[in-house]
Amino acid sequence: MKCPIDNAELVMTERQNVEIDYCPKCRGVWLDRGELDKIIERVNNDQKSGQSDAYIPQTDSPSGRDDNRGYDKKKRRESWFGELFD
């Protein structure tokens, strides 16, 4: 299949049971019929089960400065959705 943007040959890959066609030249991403529905369904299921990657803000120190420069902050968990397109 050809990229509709630049006519380069699309590359197909499967990530977490979702088939993705992407253009290595312009980095465009195309999904086959039903693949977007799979992504939406999985996001909805993850949110219902409490596995969402919603951001929870950290409280500021009383002085307004972060004296530990972020060394003790926990890294936010990566969602499967982010892994889908890396």
The token pair at 41 is 């369904």
- What is the C-alpha to C-alpha distance for residues 20 and 28, in angstroms, rounded to an integer? 10
pLDDT (tens digit, 9 = 90+) per residue, 47-82? 887 755 555 556 555 555 555 666 666 666 566 666
Judge whether residue 23 has pLDDT over 70. yes
Confidence at residue 49, expressed as pLDDT on a 0 to 100 scale: 79
Contact 81, 17 (CB under 8 A): no
Confidence at residue 66, expressed as pLDDT on a 0 to 100 scale: 56
